[in-house]
C-alpha cells in the first residue's frame, strides 16, 4: 500500500506547501480551542445543574504559558491533577505543531512523476536517407530518451517522440515494422599478433578477425570498419579502438515501399580494444598505421542480429524504418564518433577503459537508424504515455490532521449542543480568563441589596437551571470591566481584602480628570456624572 497520495497535476508544490502551512496552523489552533472547551464542559455540565465542582476542573488552558504557570503553581501536587497535566501536554504539543507548520508542510509533500496518456509531438521515420553525418547531440538526446522510456532494444522505431518529453514505452501504443533477434558476445579477451601485411584490414590481424572477432565479415555483402587511437610515441599506440559492421541482405520485396525492401537483414556489430599496440612510424594510414608485433592485451564485444520486417499491415511503406541501406560504411564511422571521446579521455587519464557492451551496440544501432530516418522532418502527433510531474501528500499527514479535523467537528458540535441545551445556566459559568476576572470583579462590587461583598465567589447557580443573582447583561458586564481598578496597596474599607475593587458599574458620561498615580502607588480614576 502506498504511503503517498497523488494530488491533481495542476497543483504546484509551493502552493500546496503554503496551503498546508495554513491548514496545520489553523487546525492546531482550533483544536486547542475546541479541546479546552470540551474539557471545561465536562465539569460545567455538572455545575449547571446546581452541584458544586472543584474550581480546578473548570480550568481552561489555551496557551503553553498558561500550562506552565499552573504546573509551576501545583509543583509536586501536579500528579494529583492528571486532568490538568493531560490538558497541559496536549496544549503544549499542539502549540509546538503550530510552530513547526513550515517543516511539517515541507516534509509531508514531495514531487513525483505519474504516467498519463496525452498527445506527443514527434517525427515519422522514412526510407529517404542512407546515412547521417556526425550528430552527437541528436544521438545523445535520442539514446537518453530511449533509455528513459525503457524502450526495448529489439525493435526499430517508425516514429520518434520529441526527446524533450518524458514519454514512456507501452507496447499497446506502438506498432513498429522491424524487429531484431540478437545474440550477444560479452567482452572477451583475445591474443593478437599484428602482421606485416598492410593490404587488407583482415590480413593485418592474421586471421583473428574472420576466425573469432567478426566471423560474419568475409561472407557478408558489406563489411566495414573504422578506428581511432591514442598513442604516446611514434612506435606505440597506448589504446586503439576499432569498430566493425558486417551486413547481408536477403528476401527482396519489390512491392514493399517506393523502391522495394530487403525484408531480412543479418548484421553484426563489434568493437575491438587493443592496449599497447605497435605503431608504424612510416605510414599513418590504417591498416598500415598499425605496426608489426604482439599486442599487449586485447578484448572484443559483438552482437549478431537478424533484423526482419515483421509488420505486414503497413499503410505506406515509405514511412517506416530504413535499415537495409547501401551506405553501411557510415555505421562504424558513427560508432567511433559516439564512443571515442570517452575512450580517449579514459586512456589519457590512465583510467580503466569502459567496456562497450553488446547491449550498448544494439542500442546505438537503434539510435543511429531512427535519427537517420527522421532527417526529413515529418511532424506527427500521437497519443503516448508520458511521465509528468505531480505533487504527492503523505498519507500520515492526511490521517493525523484528518483526526484533528474530525475531532473539531464532533467536539465543536457536542460543545455547541451543550451550550444550546443549557444556555441559561451555562452563560453564568466562568470559562476564559476574562470570565473569571469578571466573576471576581462583580463578586466584589458594591451590592445594591446591602449584602457584603466579602467572602468567596457566590455560587453560580442557586438551583438547577436558575440564573445567578450577579448575572448581568453584556453592557453591564462591560461597565464593570471598564470601571474596575487595581492597586497593589488598595484595601478599601474591607480589612484584609484582595487588592481589587470595582467601582459602581455605571458607564461614565464624561472623564473630568486624567488618571494619576498617588504617592502610595495607588492608581486612581475620577469620574463625574
**Three cell numbers at 418?**
451543550
pLDDT at 198: 84
Q: Helix, strand or coil for residue 108?
A: coil
Q: How many other CB atoms sit within 10 Å of the CB of residue 232? A: 13
**Three cell numbers at 386?**
508520458
pLDDT at 496: 47
Position of cell 558486417?
246
In this structure, the strands spanning 167-168 and 379-394 are antiparallel
Taking alpha carbons only, the member of 267, 467, 444 closest to residue 358 is 267
| Domain boundaries defined on the chain | 4-111+393-442, 127-375
pLDDT at 491: 52
pLDDT at 39: 82
Write down how long the chain is: 529
Alpha carbons 378 and 269: distance in angstroms, whole number: 30
Alpha carbons 329 and 25: distance in angstroms, whole number: 69
Residues 123 and 159: beta-carbon distance below 8 Å: yes
DSSP letters spanning 176-236: -SEEEEEEEEEEEE---EE-S--S-HHHHTTTHIIIII-TTTTTSSEEEEEEEEEEEETTE
**Three cell numbers at 513?**
480628570
Taking alpha carbons only, the member of 326, 329, 323 closest to residue 367 is 323
Taking alpha carbons only, the member of 288, 300, 299, 284 closest to residue 194 is 288
Phi/psi at 237 (nearest 5 deg)? Answer: -95, 115
pLDDT at 154: 96
Alpha carbons 297 and 191: distance in angstroms, whole number: 7
Q: Which of the residues in the chain have pLDDT under 70?
A: 1, 255, 257-258, 423-428, 431-434, 440, 442-477, 480-481, 486-529
pLDDT at 495: 43
pTM above 0.75, yes or no: no
Amino acid at each position: 500500500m502506498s504511503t503517498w497520495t497523488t494530488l491533481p497535476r495542476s497543483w504546484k508544490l509551493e502552493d500546496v506547501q503554503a496551503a498546508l502551512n495554513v491548514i496545520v496552523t489553523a487546525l492546531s489552533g482550533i483544536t486547542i480551542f475546541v479541546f479546552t472547551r470540551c474539557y471545561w464542559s465536562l465539569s460545567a455540565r455538572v455545575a449547571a445543574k446546581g452541584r458544586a465542582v472543584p474550581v480546578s476542573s473548570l480550568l481552561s488552558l489555551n496557551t503553553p504559558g498558561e500550562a506552565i504557570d499552573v504546573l509551576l503553581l501545583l509543583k509536586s501536587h501536579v500528579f494529583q491533577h492528571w486532568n490538568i497535566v493531560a490538558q497541559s501536554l496536549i496544549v503544549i504539543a499542539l502549540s509546538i505543531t503550530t510552530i513547526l507548520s513550515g517543516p511539517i508542510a515541507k516534509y509531508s509533500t514531495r514531487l513525483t512523476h505519474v504516467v498519463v496518456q496525452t498527445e506527443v509531438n514527434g517525427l515519422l521515420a522514412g526510407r529517404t536517407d542512407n546515412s547521417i553525418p556526425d550528430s552527437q547531440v541528436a544521438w545523445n538526446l535520442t539514446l537518453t530518451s530511449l533509455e528513459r522510456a525503457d524502450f526495448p532494444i529489439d525493435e526499430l522505431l517508425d516514429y520518434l517522440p520529441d526527446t524533450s518529453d518524458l514519454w514512456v514505452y507501452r507496447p499497446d501504443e506502438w506498432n513498429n515494422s522491424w524487429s531484431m533477434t540478437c545474440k550477444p558476445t560479452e567482452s572477451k579477451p583475445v591474443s593478437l599478433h599484428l602482421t606485416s601485411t598492410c593490404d587488407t584490414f583482415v590480413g593485418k590481424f592474421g586471421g583473428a578477425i574472420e576466425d573469432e572477432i567478426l566471423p560474419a565479415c568475409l561472407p557478408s555483402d558489406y563489411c566495414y570498419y573504422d578506428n581511432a587511437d591514442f598513442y604516446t610515441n611514434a612506435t606505440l599506440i597506448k589504446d586503439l579502438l576499432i569498430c566493425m559492421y558486417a551486413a547481408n541482405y536477403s528476401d527482396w520485396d519489390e512491392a514493399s515501399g517506393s523502391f522495394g525492401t530487403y525484408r531480412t537483414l543479418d548484421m553484426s556489430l563489434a568493437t575491438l580494444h587493443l592496449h599497447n599496440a605497435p605503431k608504424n612510424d612510416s605510414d599513418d594510414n590504417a591498416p598500415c598505421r598499425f605496426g608489426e608485433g604482439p599486442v599487449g592485451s586485447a578484448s572484443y564485444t559483438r552482437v549478431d542480429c537478424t533484423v526482419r520486417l515483421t509488420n505486414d499491415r503497413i499503410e505506406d511503406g515509405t514511412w517506416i524504418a530504413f535499415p537495409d541501406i547501401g551506405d553501411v560504411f557510415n555505421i562504424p564511422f558513427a560508432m567511433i564518433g559516439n564512443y571515442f571521446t570517452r575512450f580517449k579521455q579514459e586512456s589519457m587519464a590512465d583510467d580503466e577503459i569502459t567496456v562497450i557492451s553488446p547491449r550498448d551496440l544494439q542500442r546505438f544501432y537503434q539510435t543511429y537508424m531512427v535519427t537517420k530516418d527522421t532527417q526529413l522532418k515529418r511532424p506527427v502527433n500521437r497519443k503516448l504515455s508520458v511521465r509528468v510531474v505531480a505533487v504527492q501528500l503523505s498519507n500520515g499527514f492526511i490521517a493525523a490532521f484528518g483526526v484533528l479535523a474530525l475531532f473539531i467537528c464532533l467536539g465543536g458540535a457536542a460543545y455547541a449542543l451543550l451550550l444550546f441545551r443549557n444556555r441559561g445556566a451555562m452563560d453564568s459559568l466562568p470559562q476564559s480568563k476574562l470570565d473569571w476576572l469578571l466573576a471576581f470583579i462583580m463578586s466584589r462590587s458594591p451590592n445594591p441589596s446591602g449584602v457584603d461583598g466579602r467572602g468567596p465567589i457566590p455560587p453560580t447557580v442557586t438551583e438547577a437551571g436558575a440564573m445567578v443573582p450577579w448575572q448581568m447583561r453584556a453592557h453591564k458586564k462591560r461597565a464593570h470591566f471598564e470601571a474596575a481598578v487595581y492597586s497593589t496597596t488598595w484595601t478599601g474599607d474591607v480589612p484584609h481584602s484582595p487588592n481589587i475593587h470595582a467601582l459602581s458599574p455605571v458607564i461614565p458620561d464624561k472623564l473630568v480628570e486624567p488618571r494619576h498615580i498617588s504617592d502610595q502607588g495607588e492608581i486612581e480614576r475620577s469620574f463625574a456624572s
